[in-house]
Amino acid sequence: MTVADGFYRNENGELQAESVSIQDIAKRFDTPCYIYSRAMLQENLMAYKEALGKRGSICYAVKANGNLALLSLLARFGAGFDIVSGGELARVLRAGGEASRVVFSGVGKSAQEIRRALLAGIRCFNVESTAELERIEKIASESRTRAPIALRINPDIDPETHPYISTGLAQSKFGIPLAEAEDIYKRAAQSPSLAVKGVAFHIGSQLLSTRPLREAAERVGEFVAHLQDSGINIAHIDVGGGLGVRYVDEEAPDPRNHVAAVSTPLANLGVELIFEPGRAIVAEAGLLLTRVEYLKENGEREFAVVDAGMNDYLRPALYNAEHIIEPIILRQDGQRSIDVVGPICESADVFATDCQLAVQPGDILAVRCAGAYGFAMASQYNSRPRPAEILVDGSHTHLIRRRETLDDLMRGESVFVGD
Ligand SMILES: Cc1ncc(COP(=O)(O)O)c(C=O)c1O
Ligand SMILES: N[C@@H](CCCC[NH3+])C(=O)O
């Protein structure tokens, strides 16, 4: 099976997920819901693993999609994990992932998160500031252990992507400036509570050119050579993730391009490489299903009001992200310009403007390429229960997260009973 086979139109023009009719999924599980293709997930991970070969390993970025079923599949296919919170660590462990294959990124690790990760025996903390390093050192010392660390370097490279998802520019909150890193490494190397393992960087997400990735690798590679000359042993370089995908008509590099761009400048350093792809593994492997509730016209515009909102899928509202939106069953006539909008009381709750669609109320639409940063960023805004997630595996469908109920919405809250 190839990636193209995950979601495709059958001979009747109806959209399928692997061997299952998506119209049937909508009937059985209701909308809105997320559908994932196991074959695509596996193929996307394998593409990275094959491109990388023995040069390193993959630590899938859990933030892109942390569903337990997907994590357990990825662990089974041989992935390690990049986490950014104690919650993500708990998910990985619950899904059967190995702590020894977990790297911990993020600028705000709490003392409790550090303690738990240390106790679990993670592979490496990607440290983002001197203050964080001191906290990790103190906790490791109190626990009479050595914390494995890498410093996340901010290489000051423009990744040429949306400003909200650029992370490797000098003005960004992420990482440690290159000019300060050497002294911090020298100090860390002397500490009985720290074990220097590597160097890390990550410059941004949805990157459509490998040039900034190559430049960042060159800059970090020179720094690592210098560290090695100064007697600091660096066993791995964590090169982050960030590979973009084709949402509409973008030309996205593939994992081979990513691996080549980054590994070439680092080839002579004798270090293991860690890649942290998120989006490139899950985005295309997922879609969001939604039903047209109403058609309405306001002045010159026609709207299809659908039952998914920005609470279910935030990317269009937050980043003006564009996605292909298409009916599961195509209608012959009536194609016209329509804005696809959600039910949330916010003007940003728009999935697409000026979409060429032939739709009627009750029709089911697919928002393609929604597997990454989809459910992961869903909320209960407007007191809407979050949607179900369904995994398709050949001719089998698995409900891997049930739709939330109204009880779920209010779990943990209480009405005020005082005077
Ligand atoms: C440290 C780190 N690693 C990996 C990723 C995964 O990025 P992407 O989903 O763009 O591959 C991110 C998010 O951009 C990140 O912040
Ligand atoms: N949430 C972002 C990606 C964030 C990357 C986090 N480092 C998106 O949907 O594009």
Interface confidence (ipTM) of the complex? 0.99
Distance 206 CA to ligand 1 centre (A): 9
Of 176, 239, 149, 237, the residue nearest 203 (C-alpha): 239
| Catalytic residue ranges | 345
Sign of CA dihedral 303, 309, 310, 314: negative
- CA atoms of 340 and 342, how far apart (whole Å): 7
Least confident piece of the model among 158-167, 296-305, 352-361, 403-412: 158-167
The average pLDDT across 288-308 equals 97
Looking up tokens 């662990």, which residue turns up? 75
- The yes-or-no verdict on residue 2 having pLDDT over 80 is no
- The yes-or-no verdict on residue 171 having pLDDT over 90 is no
- CA atoms of 127 and 124, how far apart (whole Å): 9
Which ligand 1 atom lies nearest to the CA of residue 276? 4
Task: Read off the DSSP letter of residue 32.
Answer: S
Which CATH entry fits the domain spanning 3-37+283-410: 2.40.37.10, 2.40.170.20, 3.40.1440.60, 1.20.1530.20? 2.40.37.10
Q: How do the domains of the chain map onto residue ranges?
A: 3-37+283-410, 38-278
How is the chain split among helix, strand and coil, in percent rounded to 5? 35, 25, 40
pLDDT of residue 36: 98
pLDDT of residue 1: 43
Least confident piece of the model among 1-10, 209-218, 261-270: 1-10
Whether the CB-CB separation of 63 and 84 falls below 8 Å is answered with: yes
Q: Can you say which residues are annotated as belonging to the binding site for pyridoxal 5'-phosphate?
A: 242, 276-279, 373
What fold, for 38-278? Answer: TIM Barrel (3.20.20)
- The yes-or-no verdict on residue 83 having pLDDT over 50 is yes
Which ligand 1 atom lies nearest to the CA of residue 373? 9
Report the pocket of ligand 1 as residue ranges, CB < 6 Å. Answer: 61, 64, 82, 105, 167, 202, 205, 240-243, 276-280
* pLDDT, tens digit, 9 for 90 and up, residues 365-401: 999 999 999 999 999 999 999 999 999 999 999 999 9
pLDDT of residue 295: 98
Distance 240 CA to ligand 2 centre (A): 13
- CA atoms of 145 and 253, how far apart (whole Å): 42
Distance 340 CA to ligand 2 centre (A): 23
Pocket of ligand 2, candidates 59, 65, 279: which has the most ligand atoms within 8 Å of its Cβ, to mutate?
279
CA 86 remoteness from chain centre:
16
Kindly state the helix (H) or strand (E) to which residue 408 belongs, with its residue range: helix 406-410
> If you average pLDDT over every residue of the chain, what do you get?
96
Distance 29 CA to ligand 2 centre (A): 28
